[in-house]
C-alpha cells in the first residue's frame, strides 16, 4: 500500500509543477493589472460626502459616504427568518466524520462540527457522512439607500454581518428545531451527545448605519469601474472614510492577496519537487536512521529548489508584465553591484597601503658601524720580505 502511495506521489509531480508555475505566473499578471486599474481610478475621482446625486458626475469615479436607510427586510425564505437589516447571514454546521491518514495509510476518524460538507466517498473505512440539507448563505435587502443613491447587492457584498440575530422559540418551532441557550438552533436528539448528521444553525446581521462606497456613478447607482487592463474596481466599507483611505485599502488588499497566492504557488512547487523523492524515501524508511536522514535531506533540497524555482518564475513574470520596470531594476542592481565591487576594491587597496606604511614605520633601522680598513694579504707579505 505504501508503494502505491509513493507511485502516486510521483504522478503528482507534473500536476503540482504546472499548477504552481501557472498560479505564480497568473498571480503576477493579476497584481499588475489590478494595481493599474486602481491607479487609473484613483487618478480622477470625486468625493461626495453629502450623498447628493448630481447628473454631471455620471460615468465618473465617485466615493460616496453617509448614513444608510433600509426600507425592506432581508429574508431567509427557507428558515422563515427576516429582519429589517441590509445583510442577514445564516451559518450552518453539521456533525460529521473527518478522516486523517498518515504516510503508512493508517487512517483515524474523528467526529467534529464543520460548516463545510466533508465528503466520505473516499474514506478507507465504512464511516459515512450524509449530505448537508442546508448550507451557509447570505441574504440582502432589496431596498437600501445611501442618500440619493441606491445600493445593490454588488455594493453590499463587501460588508459582513457584525452582530448576532436574536432567535426566539417561534423560530425554533417553525423549523422543527431546538433553541439552545447560546442563541443557536439545534436539530438532533441531544446536543450534549450529538450524532452524525445533527445540525447547528445561527444567524447574524449588519447593524452599522453608515457606509462608504467607491465605484462609478451610473444614475443613482454606483457600479464597478473597468480599467484599461480589464480589471474591475469597486469597494464598500463600514463607516465614513475618505477617498484616500478607500483606495489605500484596495491597494493593501491587492498586495495581501498577491503574497498569499505567491505562498500557495511556492508550496505547490516545493511539494512537486518533494514528490520526486517519494520512492527513495520509501526504500530508506525501512532503515530508521537512514530513513530520517534521507527524509531530512530530500525535504531540505525540495525547499531550496522550490524556493529558487518560485523566484525564477516570479522574476520572469515580472519581466513579461512590466519590462520597463524590470529593466530599470536590473540596471539599478547592476550599478549597485559595480559600485560595491569598486568600493570594496578601493578599501582593499587602502588597507594594503596602510599596512605597508605601518610596517615601514614600526621596522627599526639598523645602526651603521664604522668598518676598519683591512690591508690586503699580499702587501703584508711584501713588507715582511723587505725586512
Distances (CA, A) of 359 to 207, 364, 367: 81, 10, 18
- Helix (H) or strand (E) holding 270, with range, is helix 243-276
The pLDDT tens digits for 302-328 are: 899 999 999 999 999 988 988 877 788
- How many C-beta atoms lie closer than 10 Å to residue 215's C-beta? 24
Q: What's the confidence (pLDDT) of residue 275?
A: 84
96 neighbors 111 (Cβ within 8 angstroms):
yes
289 neighbors 281 (Cβ within 8 angstroms):
no
Q: What's the confidence (pLDDT) of residue 317?
A: 92
pTM of the model: 0.76
Angle at 172 between CA 167 and CA 176, to 5 degrees: 160
Cell numbers given for 60 = 465618473
Q: How many CA atoms lie within 13 A of 161 on its CB side?
A: 22
228 neighbors 84 (Cβ within 8 angstroms):
no
Check whether 387 has a pLDDT greater than 50. no
The pLDDT tens digits for 232-266 are: 999 999 999 999 999 999 999 999 999 999 999 99
Check whether 369 has a pLDDT greater than 60. no
Check whether 371 has a pLDDT greater than 60. no
Q: What's the confidence (pLDDT) of residue 19?
A: 95
Q: Which of 203, 188, 217 is nearest to 64 (CA)?
A: 217
Q: Indicate the burial class of 359 (C-beta count within 10 angstroms; 0-12, 13-18, 19 or more).
A: exposed
Check whether 37 has a pLDDT greater than 70. yes
Check whether 6 has a pLDDT greater than 60. no
Mean pLDDT value of segment 129-151: 96
Q: What's the confidence (pLDDT) of residue 330?
A: 74
Domain ranges of the chain: 58-240
64 neighbors 48 (Cβ within 8 angstroms):
yes
Partnered with residue 218 across adjacent β-strands are 221
CA dist 260 and 144 (Å) reads: 34
Please measure the distance between the N-terminal and C-terminal CA atoms of the chain and give it in whole angstroms: 121
Amino acid at each position: 500500500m505504501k508503494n502505491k502511495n509513493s507511485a502516486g506521489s510521483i504522478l503528482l509531480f507534473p500536476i503540482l509543477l504546472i499548477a504552481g508555475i501557472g498560479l505564480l505566473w497568473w498571480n503576477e499578471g493579476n497584481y499588475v493589472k489590478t494595481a493599474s486599474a486602481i491607479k487609473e481610478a484613483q487618478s480622477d475621482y470625486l468625493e461626495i460626502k453629502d450623498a447628493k446625486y448630481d447628473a454631471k458626475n455620471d460615468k465618473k469615479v465617485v466615493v460616496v459616504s453617509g448614513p444608510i436607510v433600509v426600507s425592506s427586510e432581508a429574508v431567509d425564505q427557507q428558515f422563515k427568518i427576516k429582519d429589517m437589516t441590509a445583510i442577514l447571514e445564516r451559518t450552518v454546521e453539521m456533525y460529521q466524520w473527518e478522516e486523517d491518514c498518515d504516510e503508512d495509510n493508517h487512517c483515524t476518524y474523528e467526529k467534529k462540527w464543520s460548516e463545510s460538507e466533508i465528503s466520505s466517498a473516499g474514506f478507507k473505512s465504512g464511516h459515512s457522512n450524509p449530505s448537508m440539507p442546508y448550507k451557509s448563505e447570505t441574504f440582502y435587502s432589496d431596498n437600501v439607500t445611501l442618500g440619493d443613491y441606491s445600493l445593490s447587492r454588488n455594493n453590499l457584498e463587501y460588508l459582513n454581518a457584525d452582530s448576532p440575530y436574536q432567535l426566539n422559540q417561534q423560530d425554533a418551532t417553525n423549523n422543527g428545531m431546538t433553541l439552545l441557550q447560546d442563541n443557536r438552533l439545534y436539530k438532533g436528539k441531544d446536543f450534549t451527545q450529538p450524532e452524525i448528521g445533527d445540525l447547528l444553525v445561527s444567524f447574524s446581521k449588519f447593524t452599522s448605519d453608515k457606509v462608504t462606497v467607491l465605484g462609478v456613478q451610473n444614475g443613482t447607482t454606483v457600479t464597478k469601474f473597468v480599467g484599461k487592463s480589464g480589471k474591475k474596481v469597486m469597494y464598500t466599507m463600514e463607516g465614513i472614510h475618505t477617498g484616500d483611505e478607500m483606495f489605500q485599502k484596495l491597494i493593501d488588499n491587492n498586495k495581501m492577496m498577491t503574497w498569499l497566492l505567491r505562498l500557495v504557488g511556492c508550496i505547490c512547487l516545493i511539494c512537486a519537487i518533494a514528490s520526486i523523492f517519494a520512492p527513495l524515501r520509501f526504500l530508506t524508511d525501512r532503515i530508521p536512521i537512514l530513513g530520517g536522514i534521507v527524509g531530512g535531506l530530500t525535504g531540505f533540497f525540495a525547499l531550496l529548489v522550490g524556493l529558487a524555482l518560485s523566484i525564477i518564475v516570479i522574476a520572469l513574470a515580472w519581466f513579461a508584465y512590466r519590462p520597463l520596470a524590470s529593466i530599470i531594476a536590473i540596471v539599478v542592481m547592476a550599478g549597485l553591484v559595480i559600485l560595491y565591487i569598486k568600493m570594496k576594491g578601493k578599501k582593499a587597496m587602502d588597507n594594503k597601503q596602510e599596512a605597508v606604511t605601518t610596517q615601514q614605520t614600526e621596522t627599526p633601522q639598523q645602526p651603521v658601524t664604522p668598518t676598519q680598513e683591512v690591508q690586503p694579504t699580499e702587501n703584508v707579505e711584501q713588507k715582511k720580505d723587505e725586512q
